[in-house]
């Protein structure tokens, strides 16, 4: 198919998606985040309150998760946004908690991230959380329950759940092993490598740590017609290629923080910046090809492009990082210019409107509270 035709069709998809996202998905997402922040501010323990609010301040990946609800049936959109935001909020929170000092960081990270699997569990009755010794006055459990209740209302979730849980289990393994000896993570990643897959162990590990596959499956569960074939196609499209691109771009943005904290930098595993740039271009090409093969390929191409642009739109003052950004942008194609323009405009707006998060005093709050005029009557 000619490039101009692809670009033209993507522009139509982009215009429709942008309208839906900003009119419907973004307001719902903002409401969910206000609700979660209000509950987090009620935590009395100062350090736990700080970590909970910091997890919710990562708006980029929370809003990115909600973007998967853009294309779902409108009757299921509110419920899908709630599930997507809750799952990503749990991931952010568990990740920050796991980074705190611990006598056994690998075991603690495993217990914390196992909460992701609980959030996706379809078993009836209240959730049973792992013992993580967390003084957050029940916040984590409330977000987990919000995720489970939202998922239970999606008509196709019984079909999507097994694959979503498999993806979450990969996240648990990656997030726990990444805090231990590097050779343990390398051995595990090698054991997960699909046959004849040309990825390196750290690229495979990056794919395992991505939440994109879970987001795609949650969104697909909004369709009553979802079947096992469709689930398998989505799972294969998002792991490992698309997930690897996602996590490595995240690592690119966080590489200075990782260096200061002494944590594993996935992007730093490449032998040289030149090789990293070339490999990231290749990952982008393969990820686009993987999602383009899906029945609604253009939608997933747009979601992938938006994800990548959310990272590469941030200013990079490091020459090596700029080289990677150039290669990724080139591989994304013409539609990326339009998407990048929107993200850069949004980043400027955020910086102007940004206000410090209130840290106290805490007040009593719960996730069941309603805000007037926003969510009344939502599915």
Residue 352: pLDDT band by 50, 70, 90 thresholds?
A: low
Which residue blocks in 192-265 are alpha helix, DSSP H? 201-209, 212-220, 228-237, 243-261
* Total residue count of the chain as it appears in this document: 379
Q: Is the pLDDT of residue 183 over 70?
A: yes
pLDDT tens digits for range 187-196: 999 999 888 8
pLDDT of residue 126: 76
pLDDT of residue 293: 97
Q: Return the domain boundaries, the chain.
A: 3-353
CATH topology of domain 3-353: Farnesyl Diphosphate Synthase (1.10.600)
pLDDT tens digits for range 12-28: 889 999 999 999 999 99
pLDDT of residue 262: 79
Residue 264: pLDDT band by 50, 70, 90 thresholds?
A: confident
Q: Is the pLDDT of residue 367 over 60?
A: yes
pLDDT of residue 373: 41
pLDDT of residue 345: 80
In order, the DSSP letters of 273-305 are HHHHHHHHHHHHHHHHHHHHTSTTHHHHHHHHH
pLDDT tens digits for range 104-150: 999 999 999 999 999 999 887 777 888 887 889 999 999 999 999 99
Pick the most confident of 139-153, 302-316, 318-332: 139-153
Q: Per residue in 31-61, is it b (16+ CB within 10 Å) or e — as a string?
A: bbbebbbbbbbbbeeeebbebbbebbebebb
pTM score over 0.75: yes
């Amino acid at each position: 198919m000619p490039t101009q035709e692809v670009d033209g069709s993507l522009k139509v998809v982009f215009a429709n998606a942008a309208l839906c996202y900003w009119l419907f998905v973004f307001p719902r997402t903002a409401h969910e985040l206000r609700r979660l922040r209000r509950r987090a501010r009620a935590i009395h323990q100062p350090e736990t309150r700080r970590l909970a609010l910091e997890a919710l301040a990562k708006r980029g990946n929370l809003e990115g998760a909600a973007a998967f609800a853009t294309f779902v049936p409108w009757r299921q959109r509110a419920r899908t946004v709630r599930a997507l935001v809750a799952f990503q909020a749990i991931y952010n929170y568990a990740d920050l908690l796991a980074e705190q000092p611990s006598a056994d960081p690998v075991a603690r990270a495993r217990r914390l991230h196992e909460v992701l699997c609980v959030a996706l569990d379809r078993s009836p009755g209240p959730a049973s959380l792992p013992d993580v010794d967390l003084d957050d006055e029940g916040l984590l459990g409330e977000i987990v329950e919000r995720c489970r209740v939202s998922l239970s209302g999606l008509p196709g979730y019984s079909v999507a759940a097994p694959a979503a849980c498999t993806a979450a289990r990969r996240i648990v393994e990656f997030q726990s092993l990444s805090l231990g000896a590097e050779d343990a993570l390398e051995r595990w990643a090698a054991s997960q490598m699909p046959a004849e897959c040309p990825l390196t162990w750290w690229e495979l590990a990056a794919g395992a740590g991505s939440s994109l596959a879970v987001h795609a499956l949650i969104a697909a569960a909004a369709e009553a017609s979802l079947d096992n074939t469709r689930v398998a196609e989505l799972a294969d499209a998002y792991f490992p290629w698309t997930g690897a691109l996602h996590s490595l771009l995240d690592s690119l943005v966080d590489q200075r923080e990782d260096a200061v904290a002494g944590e594993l930098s996935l992007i730093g595993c490449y032998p040289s910046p030149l090789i990293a740039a070339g490999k990231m271009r290749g990952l982008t090409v393969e990820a686009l090809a993987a999602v383009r093969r899906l029945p609604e390929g253009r939608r997933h191409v747009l979601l992938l492009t938006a994800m990548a642009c959310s990272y590469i739109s941030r200013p990079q003052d490091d020459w090596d990082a700029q080289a990677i950004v150039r290669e990724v942008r080139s591989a994304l194609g013409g539609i990326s210019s339009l998407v990048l323009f929107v993200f850069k405009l949004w980043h400027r707006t955020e910086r102007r409107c940004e206000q410090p998060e209130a840290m106290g005093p805490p007040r009593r709050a719960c996730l069941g509270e309603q805000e007037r005029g926003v969510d009344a009557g939502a599915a």
